[in-house]
Chain A
């Protein structure tokens, strides 16, 4: 059974600081997705990582995938308040439902 673990589950960070969220998974996969969820809202697609070594960046967020280590990271650079949200990773192992991590609740404070 595929297990997907995110850490940390809660993260409070100061504006301007850098931090990394980790997503580990237990089965071979070369496809992983990151989603963002604002409070009371649904999930919105952030990044689609489709191969080993894939790196995607948008604004202050950068995601990468290391399939050999079964690890994806979401790096936050110089955090701003607008990045406060819950971030989910989801692993794709074929035409079955994605397996989601429990989410990392990020709070950026002044």
Chain B
């Protein structure tokens, strides 16, 4: 079974802190994704990566950065957390050949106070 894990289920941080969210997958997937989910707004893509050290901006990259130093690990970084980044963050991964079905991690609910 594909397994995607995220470093924390719940996280509380203060405004201005640097926040790291980590995602690890064990299926040797090339593609990895970070989404945020807010009520009424569905899933919004923040960043994705097709390979190690590669990254692409999604729909809402502002205020975020990412790092992919190893194939299995994709980190989302909030350089200076703000209250409007309070959200559920979901990581996903997929192969780079069809089908491109995405497998999701359990999510991290981040609260910025």
Q: What's the interface size class on B, roughly?
A: 20 to 34
Q: B-side binding surface: helix, strand, loop or mixed?
A: loop
Q: What's the interface size class on A, roughly?
A: 20 to 34
Tell me if B98 and A97 are in contact (CB < 8 A).
no
Tell me if A103 and B42 are in contact (CB < 8 A).
yes
Tell me if A31 and B106 are in contact (CB < 8 A).
no
Q: Which of A41, A50, A102 contacts B42 (CB 8 A)?
A: A102
Tell me if B101 and A48 are in contact (CB < 8 A).
yes
Tell me if B98 and A31 are in contact (CB < 8 A).
yes
A90 nearest CB neighbor, chain B only = B102
- CA A88 to CA B104, docked complex, whole Å: 13
Could you tell me the distance in whole angstroms from the C-beta of B50 to the nearest C-beta in chain A?
7
Could you tell me the distance in whole angstroms from the C-beta of B82 to the nearest C-beta in chain A?
23
Residues of A within 8 A of B (CB): 31, 33, 35, 40-45, 48, 50, 88, 90, 92, 94-95, 97-98, 100-103
